[in-house]
Amino acid sequence: MLRQSVLGLLLIATAVVPAAAQPSQQKTAVPTELYRYTDKNGRVVLDRLGVPPEYVSQGYEVLNDKGRVIRVVPPAPSLEERQRQAEEKAKASSDAQLLRIYSEPADVDRALERKLAELDGLISVAQSNLHSLRTQQANLQAKAADFERSGGQVPEHLLVQIDNLKIEQAGVEKDIKRYQASRKEAEVSFAADRARLVELRGE
């Protein structure tokens, strides 16, 4: 009975020892990266901690633990480069919109005709209003002259009406000049759109 107990303990010890004697698993080492950049003195610097903020915009390289370049971060674009990129982006957007609006150069011609007709209508209405205001002013001035010829004093309200008509005329004249300027701008703008559309279509 005693021999069986001892034998059982030996078997248990034999089964447990190999498991305890197994070596622990080794942890996988994390690859080390190096950052290479140029400092303000023009010296090339290798740093394991990263690139200082003041040098990031200059661009830098990331190397592995064997010294091989695994990633290149280019320098930030200059102000001139950013402006050029913005202009190119705006031009591409303008070209895309132009192709969406017009199928052919004739479409541009028709759009220009509509725009000029609209502006001509505004100019015509303004000129008619201006003519009416001038007529009203002439009538009031004639009344004022009658008062003066009769030796009387021109009523204050009559003078105020004449002044108001002059102010209105100045405003209408300003509108007419603005419409005429818009007409010229439209002719130039649509001509440029037509030329660009022809260029984009390769005609």
Q: Give residue 179's domain range.
A: 96-201
pLDDT at 8 over 80: no
Tell me: do 40 and 101 sit in the same domain.
Answer: no
Which two structure tokens, joined as six digits, stand for 15?
């089964």
Which two structure tokens, joined as six digits, stand for 100?
């969406």
pTM assigned to the model: 0.60
In a domain? residue 103: yes
DSSP 125-190: HHHHHHHHHHHHHHHHHHHHHHHHHTTPPPPHHHHHHHHHHHHHHHHHHHHHHHHHHHHHHHHHHH
Condensed to tens digits (0 to 9), the pLDDT of residues 40-59 reads: 899 999 998 889 999 998 99
Tell me: do 193 and 109 sit in the same domain.
Answer: yes
pLDDT at 11 over 70: no
Tell me: do 108 and 64 sit in the same domain.
Answer: no
Tell me: do 144 and 187 sit in the same domain.
Answer: yes
**Among the listed residues 28, 21, 48, the one whose alpha carbon sits nearest the alpha carbon of residue 37:** 48
In a domain? residue 112: yes
Condensed to tens digits (0 to 9), the pLDDT of residues 59-102 reads: 999 999 888 999 999 998 888 888 999 999 999 999 999 999 99
